[in-house]
Amino acid sequence: MPARTIETRTIRMNVVEQGEGPLVLFCHGFPETARAWRHQLAALGKAGFRAVAPDMRGYGHTECPAAIDEYTLFHLVGDMVALLDALGEETALIVGNDWGATVAWHAAQMRPDRFRGVVAISVPMMAPPPVPPTRIFPQTDKAQLYALYFQEPGIAEVELERDIRQTLRKILFAASGDAGPRQAGDQTPNPFGMVSRRDGLLATLPDPHNMPDWLTAADLEAYAQAFAHSGFRGGLNYYRNLDRNRQLQASLAGMKVDVPALFMVGERDTGLSIPGMQDIIDAMPRLVPQLLHQVVVPGSGHWLPQERPDLVSDAIIDFARHI
């Protein structure tokens, strides 16, 4: 699909799009680009929608600000509102996976006048934690949660950029359904998401000889070229604003996501192994009173739009037609 550059009032964005009709805006996660939505763009374009996916701030050929504090949720939601304006659209259905789901939830929370519905994949809507997130993330003398490992600028960049193709192979496979089942409260010596203080993130992740069928060599190469251009710093800066996001979100205390919503998650999603995650998912209706459906997809992992593209596309199209 051809890409184009759009100058918005917040940032210069690289976008891919297909079709005409009501706008559906797609937000990818880490480590991905707009290419993560290739199947959905084609399907929704054929179904009578205008499907648009940007490389998010800091990724691919979208602008990558240098300052860490320019990657807060308020900046990311602002980018989505600015993109709607640049596209000449009043409203959109917003769809996101991984970090993109977090952006989608908060776009719908902050600007229900612009985002008429939300489809969130993998990451549920969560209330701000009572203390800064970095104070409660798990860590031991030997390992720490990946979000803590990402906090210090420069450390993760060096590891992830040493061999970009290997980095992408390992992370994308390890979080997929093909890596096997997850168990809540995983007590294995190296549960997914915990990073060795000595060896780093990638050492304990398998490097598959062959990638699953849902990720072709061409797809992997496109991702690799995008990260060779942008590096990983932009995506890592999202994690470096977790505490800052909590502070800024004080202004949103008590606000709900009050638009129609759909939540989807793979049965083997790595997030489901985090202690307490199922309780968070079960509590979502209190934060999202118009949560119409929750879908658990058997055998699938964290990259649902790519692992189960037809199922995800059909679910989005059906949801979009009924809100």
Known catalytic residues are: 98, 302
* CA gyration radius, the chain: 18
Q: Determine the distance from the C-alpha atom of residue 304 to the mean position of all C-alpha atoms in its chain, rounded to a whole number.
A: 11
Furthest C-alpha separation in the chain? 54
**What are the residues whose beta carbons fall under 8 Å from the beta carbon of 204, sequence distance 6 or more?**
190, 196
297, HSE (Cβ side, Cα atoms, 13 Å):
23
State how far the Cα of 22 lies from the Cα of 39, in Å rounded to an integer.
18
Strands 3-7 and 12-18: antiparallel
| Coil, strand or helix at 177 | helix
**Looking at the chain, how many residues does it have?**
323
Q: Tell me the residue type at 199.
A: D
- Is omega for the bond preceding 153 within 30 degrees of 0, making it cis? no
| Tokens found for residue 159 | 């590891």
Tokens describing residue 246: 């909590």
For the CA atoms of 143, 206, 233, 135, the dihedral, rounded to the nearest 10 degrees, stands at -20
